[in-house]
Chain A
Amino acid sequence: MADKPIQGEKRMFVTGNEAVAYAALAANVDIMYGYPITPQNEIMHYFTRLAPKFDKPFLQTEDEISAGFTTVGGVMSGKRSFTATAGPGNTLMQESMSMAEMMRIPTVVVIMQRGGPSTATVIYSQQEVTMTCYGANGEGIRVVYSTCNHQELYDYTIKSFNTAWKYRIPTFVLGDGYQAKMRESLTMYDPEARGIKMVDTYPLVGLPGSPGVDRDPAHLRNTYNTEEELYEVVSNLVKDYEAVAPEIVESESFDCDDAEVVVLAHGVVSRAAVEAVRELRKAGIKAGHFRPITLRPFPDKELKAVANQAKKLLVVESAQGQFAKLVHHSLYGDSTPMEYIFKPGLGITSDEIINKVKAML
């Protein structure tokens, strides 16, 4: 059996899907569960090619409902477990992930967004924002990292296991079909070599001793008998989530300090925004870019500070306003004028952003 999937550090040229598979192995994941769907297939392909070398199993389930629930089960047994999916598969996993929210099961799910609604296209979109953040009959007790390049796919896949297990909150890495299939270089590393300690995992069920006698009962429940009982449970979930949110929240801003127009984008689209801001600055136009890395919890405080300084905001996304809804919610009461580029299922180039910003001035 090989020693470690990545020794030290290594510069590699890969697709985003491969970056995720390697990151999961580097994070010393115990098992992957999954069901094939484009554009995430190579996460599974590469995991199944690599995992046997490191004595790690993979279970292909009969569908995504099962892949989600087996991931929950794997975590309950104390295994660092994950799954990956896209589009309709993400839809089917909402039931199991809402169970994970209710029972505080630290699952990790990697989403490579494809076109929607329904089967739509296998290729690309940012239309799984609402679903990944809030897609179940609950309050969205989740962490969602929206990555913009392969390095981040690698970094945040590793980080997601630690976030999930540290806080016991289901955690999602939100990529997209472009990131999944695109090729670029990144540094793969052994987390330990960078001083990143993987948070210990432990079984949530089957604990030694008798419940109520030797220890408290585990009380993993997703069903409650009365409204009052549920109200108390959900209130506590929300309270706990809000208490740790400031530690989890992440964002980035570029050239926002004196910006007249700030471009708001997330994920792969923020690459176009960064490029647009660079070009606009060269042309003497004061543009900036703000990017939430966590879509859940959302960086409200950081965005408000940027919005207060800007004269105008431009929200850009490959969806019909799903990201804009998060922005509106976050900036409620702020009067900075806002304009939009919504292109569901289509890529957005820096030129489009540049032209729009110029038209806004």
Chain B
Amino acid sequence: MVEAYIGEYASGKSENAVNRALDLLERGRTVTLVDLDIVEPFYTLRPIKKELEAKGLSVIAWETGDTVGLGEAGNLLRGDMLWALRREGDIVLDIGYGVEGSKTLNLLHGAHQDPELRIIAVINISRPMTSSVQDVVDYVRDLGPVHAILNNTHLGEETDEQIIQEGAKVVAEAAKILGLPVEATAADEKFRPTLGETDAMGHPVRYLHRLMPKTFW
């Protein structure tokens, strides 16, 4: 299984990528998580790398100590990042934001030949740029190749079931126009008792354990 998470700035790409990787790991699979954010290399999952590795995940990402001296514009794709798709087991790629972020995939060796690579666009309709069906359609069309859309609609601490379901509807409608499947709805673990296994549109719900708030830069 090879999945790349792309999408709008602050749409929840990293949170979904990290949770997906941990979920696959829990199922006894071998998983590599690759941090490929070269749009904003200083605002990534770097602070939780060690915690993730302790759980048994292979993490390809910069460590704080190694970035010393790179400076503000220090974004460098290492060899192990470029060749990440050749690794054994499942691979989850966390990609930088926007169109420029999704172009990072062009730099990976074998990305265009890999029949297993699925590119998933993460959408939160509480983000102003992707707040309506038309916005989502326009946004996803600009991103380049996409295989599925994931509804990650929330309002931070103020999230309620209604906003998640509203997101599910908007994303489902946009997906229909785009001719793409809906991968899932993602929601904080605390909504499990109320949401259940599927969202209002019948798509599976992936529950998230929030890890990115620990990335206090």
Contact = CB atoms under 8 A, between A and B. Distances in A.
22 contacts: A11-B158, A12-B128, A13-B154, A14-B127, A14-B128, A18-B128, A22-B128, A38-B72, A42-B9, A122-B72, A123-B42, A177-B217, A181-B43, A183-B10, A183-B156, A184-B156, A185-B126, A185-B155, A185-B156, A185-B157, A188-B128, A347-B216
A178 B9 contact: no
A239 interface: no
B66 to A, nearest CB: 16
Given A119-B71, A119-B72, A13 B217 contact: no
Contacts of A15: 9-10
A4 interface: no
B16 interface: no
Interface of A: 11-15, 18, 22, 38, 42, 49, 119, 122-124, 177-178, 181, 183-185, 188, 347
B129 A49 contact: yes
A15 B217 CA distance: 15
B32 interface: no
Interface of B: 9-10, 42-43, 71-72, 124, 126-129, 131, 154-158, 216-217
Contact of B156 (A13, A38, A123): A13
A188 B216 CA distance: 26
Contacts of A38: 42, 72
Contacts, number: 48
A113 B72 CA distance: 15
Contacts of B124: 13
B155 A11 contact: yes
A183 B155 CA distance: 9
A293 B156 CA distance: 25
Given A12-B127, A184-B156, A184-B157, 14 more contacts: A11-B158, A12-B126, A12-B131, A13-B127, A13-B155, A13-B156, A18-B128, A119-B72, A123-B42, A124-B217, A181-B217, A183-B10, A183-B156, A188-B128
B141 to A, nearest CB: 15
Nearest to B74: A122
Nearest to B127: A13
Nearest to A183: B10
A123 B42 CA distance: 8
Contacts of A177: 217
Contacts of A119: 71-72
Nearest to A15: B10
Contacts of A181: 43, 217
Given A12-B126, A12-B128, A42-B9, A185 B217 contact: no
B140 to A, nearest CB: 16
A178 B156 contact: no
Contacts of B131: 12
A42 B10 CA distance: 11
A11 B126 contact: yes
A124 B9 CA distance: 19
A347 B47 CA distance: 14
A15 B72 CA distance: 20
The 4 A-B pairs at the shortest CB distance, nearest first, are namely: A13-B126, A185-B155, A122-B72, A183-B10
Nearest to B154: A13
A22 B128 CA distance: 9
A123 B67 CA distance: 14
B10 A14 contact: yes
A123 B126 contact: no
B182 to A, nearest CB: 20
Contacts of B71: 119
A344 to B, nearest CB: 15
Contacts of A188: 128
B72 to A, nearest CB: 5
B158 A185 contact: yes
A287 B216 CA distance: 26
A185 B157 CA distance: 8
A122 B42 contact: yes
A103 to B, nearest CB: 33
Residue of A49, A123, A185 contacting most chain B CB atoms (<10 Å)? A185
A49 B127 CA distance: 14
A231 to B, nearest CB: 43
A122 B43 CA distance: 10
A42 B156 CA distance: 20
A347 B158 CA distance: 24
